[in-house]
């Protein structure tokens, strides 16, 4: 009986050790790292009295967050119903888009002209192209290289808002700016 109890106890202990070992192996398989070690002690010699040596833990200052520059984005411009002229407020948006070109001098963008759902497919494709071209011309007048700009019209095929009301139509009458790879 004593031998049986001893074997059972030995089995339980060995099983416990094997489970701990499996846990460590599983952690290593997942690519998890072991916790970092405590900072090492560093010996500092006093400048005035060279005989005195003190063991001081190396202090690490908490990392200060670096200020993150706001990402420069390209914003869409919007158009009045059946129009392709750049409104003054949208001219300001295009001038702010100019900052993107300054930050990305070797990049190109595609200007996508869009329309609301009213009108024929052919009419909206032509109007969308006029909107994209108007935005391109405005940017070129601001100094953007024409080779960095390409245009396309999607007409009414890619609405930003699929609803059928004036608010949705106003969102759909736009020119989007898409950076190219």
More confident position, 117 or 26: 117
Q: What integer is the mean pLDDT of 125-145?
A: 96
The reported pLDDT for the residue numbered 75 is 94
pTM: 0.61
Q: Quick one: pLDDT band at residue 69, thresholds 50, 70, 90?
A: very low
Scored b (16 or more CB within 10 A) or e, 16-53 reads eeeeeeeeeeeeeeeeeeeeeeeeeeeeeeeeeeeeee
The reported pLDDT for the residue numbered 105 is 87
The reported pLDDT for the residue numbered 169 is 96
Per-residue pLDDT at 88 exceeds 50: yes
Domain 77-179, second-level architecture: 2-Layer Sandwich (3.30)
Cα dihedral 95/100/102/106 (nearest 10):
-130
CA–CA separation, 112 and 96 (whole Å): 18
Per-residue pLDDT at 161 exceeds 90: yes
Q: Is the dihedral of CA 166, 167, 170, 172 positive or negative?
A: negative
Per-residue pLDDT at 66 exceeds 80: no
Strands 149-155 and 109-114: parallel
Across all residues in the chain, what is the average pLDDT? 77
More confident position, 142 or 1: 142
């Amino acid at each position: 009986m004593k031998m049986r109890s001893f074997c059972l106890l030995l089995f339980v202990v060995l099983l416990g050790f094997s489970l701990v070992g499996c846990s460590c192996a599983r952690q290593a398989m997942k690519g998890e790292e072991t916790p970092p070690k405590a900072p090492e002690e560093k010996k500092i010699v006093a400048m005035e009295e060279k005989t005195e040596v003190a063991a001081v833990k190396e202090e690490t200052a908490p990392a200060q967050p670096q200020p993150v520059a706001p990402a420069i984005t390209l914003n869409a411009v919007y158009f009045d119903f059946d129009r392709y002229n750049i409104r003054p407020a949208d001219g300001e948006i295009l001038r702010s888009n100019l900052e993107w070109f300054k930050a990305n001098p070797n990049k190109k963008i595609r200007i996508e002209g869009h329309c609301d759902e009213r009108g024929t497919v052919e009419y909206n494709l032509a109007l969308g192209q006029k909107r994209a071209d108007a935005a391109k011309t405005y940017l070129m007048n601001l100094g953007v290289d024409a080779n960095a700009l390409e245009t396309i019209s999607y007409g009414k095929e890619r609405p930003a808002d699929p609803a059928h009301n004036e608010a949705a139509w106003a969102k759909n009458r736009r020119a989007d700016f898409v950076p190219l790879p």
